[in-house]
Amino acid sequence: MQKTEMGGGGAGGTVIDAVMVDPNAVVQQYSQQQQQQANAKLAEQQRKKKAEQQAAELRVKQAEEQERLKSAEEERIKAQQASEEQKKQADAAASKAREEQKLAEEAAAKAKAEKERILQEQAEARQKAEVQAKKEAEETAKRKAASEAKVKAEAEAQAKAEAEAKTKAKAEAESKAKAEAEAETKAKTETKAKAKAKAEATKQAQEVDDLLGGLTSSAPKQGGASAAGQGGGKKSGPSQSDINNYKGQIQTAIQQKFHDPSLYLGRTCELRIKLAPDGLLIDIKAGAGDPALCRAAVAAALQTKIPRPPSKEIYEHFKNSSLDFKPQ
């Protein structure tokens, strides 16, 4: 396009700007504008498509992220619940263990005190037996001394009588020649001497008898009790029925002090017991079996008053025995 200035004649003439348009240039410029618009439209379409695609991908990613976060939260909640349940179970187990430990310690302390009491009673019984034995020995020595004194007195009396008899015989031999009057007087004197000697001997013997009688009356009577404990023949051992009956009594006594038997159903424990003649539990130990049940059974047994054995044969059978304990 070209610009041309054209003027009129003279100094006061008007100048006119005239533009010359190139048709090819106009067409070319129009084509360029159309192409630019088409390119811009295509670019806008591609931008929108890409934006929509990115938005769709973002929505997918957001959905996946939300699902992942949801799953993670569920896993966290499950883990937290499992941890809380595990802690609850651990706390319960620890509490139960502490309670069992406390019961076991109390039972052990009670058993120790009972054992010390038994030892004290045994020591006192031994001391009493020693005192009684010493007393009996002293009384026996007194009786022996009195008996020996009696024998000695009798021997002395006999010796005295024999000496007097010899003196009498000598006097009779020496006075044989004397007058009948002197013989009669001497006979009276001899008779009086014999009576006196006999009276003295009798008096001494009576004194010894009185002494022995007093010692005998103060001595403990043993013969009857000793004889009563002998004889009767040898008894046979206890019947199986009696054994089972007393074993059932022991089981029942322990069962009465046993807590929560339902926790140990189907389990067994061997209990090794040592009894006193009156049924007192001197010692108890756990043998084979479930450890937890054994601990609980020993604790229950230590709190139990076991019935007295009904007979000596039953006591001999159970004084050192074992039984299988099964809670019911």
**Domain extents in the chain:** 124-218, 239-328
In tens, the pLDDT along 155-179 reads 888 888 778 867 776 777 787 778 7
**Residue 36 and residue 54 in contact, taking contact as beta carbons nearer than 8 Å:** no
Distance CA 207, CA 154 (A): 11
Q: Residue 116 has what pLDDT? A: 93
**Residue 318 and residue 273 in contact, taking contact as beta carbons nearer than 8 Å:** yes
pLDDT band at 238 (very low <50, low <70, confident <90, very high): confident
Q: Residue 168 has what pLDDT? A: 76
Q: Residue 118 has what pLDDT? A: 94
**Of the listed ranges 83-87, 95-99, 204-208, the one predicted with least confidence:** 204-208
Arithmetic mean of pLDDT, 127-146? 89
In tens, the pLDDT along 175-199 reads 777 877 786 677 567 656 656 765 7
Distance CA 49, CA 257 (A): 85
Percent of the chain whose pLDDT exceeds 70: 78
Arithmetic mean of pLDDT, 274-282? 88
- The three-state secondary structure class of 275 is strand
Residue 224 has pLDDT above 80, yes or no: no
243 Cβ contact partners less than 8 Å away, ≥ 6 residues apart: 314, 317
Residue 222 has pLDDT above 50, yes or no: no
Residue 325 has pLDDT above 70, yes or no: yes
Residue 229 has pLDDT above 50, yes or no: no
pLDDT band at 256 (very low <50, low <70, confident <90, very high): confident
Residue 232 has pLDDT above 80, yes or no: no
pLDDT band at 19 (very low <50, low <70, confident <90, very high): low
- Token pair of 164 as six digits: 């007097």
Q: Does domain 239-328 have CATH number 3.30.1150.10?
A: yes
